[in-house]
Structure 1
Amino acid sequence: MAISEYFPVIGEWIKNIFLMLFALSFLGGGIFVLIIVYAPSDIKFHVTDASLTKFNLTNNNTLDYKLEANITSRNPNKNVIVYYREIAAIAFYKDHKFATVNLTPFDQGHKTTSFLHVLFEGKGVMKNSLKPKQLFEYDQETRLGIYHDLAIDLDILATYKFLTHKSTRYNPPMVQCRRLSLSLVSNGNSSSTPSFHGRKCRINHFFENR
């Protein structure tokens, strides 16, 4: 066979390769569009209201407290149902955990908002004592009647149904409602204290196991 007779064969190979690359790029683009359209968005959490009616620290680590908060959970997805099997709310002051309460499990349907009420009340010993700088800040905050660096985390065990697929139980990343500043309500009278303006909670990749 003459060399010139190879060129049509080579040309056909090149044509087939280009067609294959085009088909792969088209398929990849289609998959990317499907991911964008159908991939679930993160659940949104907000602290809409909070109050502090008792907050007395003794011996650097013993806290007598009453902290309440209302938290909303928003499912923005039209193809996902979330089943909250276990929810633990954890309270912190200056990164020191001082209380944990368990909330009632619930199911959250498509494009719905659920309301969670959290009440921390009692007296307990923090695992670690406050550091000298933190004690100084606590004394200042007590004089002013407003406490900073309060936080509430949500530790969740859940499953979800996406279209026809139902997941196994998993632990999403912690929901972090941080940097809460609350005025102490004296004798149940909050008329003279600044109002709480709400706080968006941080959650990344809710549908992934941590």
Structure 2
Amino acid sequence: MLQFNLAANISIRNPNKKIGIYYDRIEARAFYEDQRFGYDALTPFYQGHKNTSVLNVVFKGQQAVTLQGEELTQFNQERTSGLYSIALELSLRIRFKLGKVKTARFKPKVECDDLKIPLNGSPVAGISNNKCEIQF
């Protein structure tokens, strides 16, 4: 049984000078060895142009996670090192705004793979600079 209490701050940058973004739906999921262990639905918001917004995501609870073979070996190595490799995924429903015009909705997915997370909040250098991929 996996017990977890994970808080993540995710920065989203809108570098555009004229286009704003409506985030109508934001769902965050956390995975360990391709098995989902956490879910958080975030509050919709509007992001203005040339703006950085920070999403505060919290995963807390317990979940059965079955590990076998290489996954179990990997888990034991991570337990020894104190750093666990997880993945975060954001499923979004967004609209763009240019002046008074709003676009139709898009459903991009943001994937952040191989994030190294320390056990029990131990500070570890380098975990705050992860880049994620966006798929439209």
TM-score, scaled relative to structure 1 = 0.60
Matched with 2:40 is: 101
Structure 2 Cα separation of the partners of residues 197 and 152 of structure 1: 13
Larger relative contact order (Cα-Cα within 8 Å, sequence gap ≥ 6): 2
Deviation of the 1:204 alpha carbon = 4.1
Structure 2 residue 136 is the aligned partner of structure 1 residue 199: no
Which residue does 2:69 correspond to in 1?
132
Q: Is the partner of 1:198 in helix, strand or coil?
A: coil
Match of 1:91 in 2: 30
1:63-78 alignment, distance < 5 Å:
63-78=2-17
Q: Number of residues paired by the alignment? A: 135
Residue 116 (str. 1) matches residue 51 (str. 2): no
CA drift of 1:182 comes to 1.6
Q: How many angstroms apart in 1 are the aligned matches of 2:128 and 2:106?
A: 32
Which protein has the bigger helix share? 1
Within 1, Cα distance between the matches of 2:128 and 2:55?
A: 17
Partner of 2:82: 145
- Structure 2 distance, partners of 1:125, 1:107, is 36
Q: CA deviation at 1:82?
A: 0.5
The structure having more radius of gyration, on CA atoms, is 1
**Aligned residue for 1:50?**
none
**Structure number with higher strand proportion:** 2
Does 2:116 match 1:175? no
SS in structure 1 at match of 2:80: helix
Quick one: distance in 1 between partners of 2:27 and 2:79?
A: 28
Q: Post-superposition, which runs of at least 4 consecutive aligned residues in structure 1 deviate over 3 A?
A: none
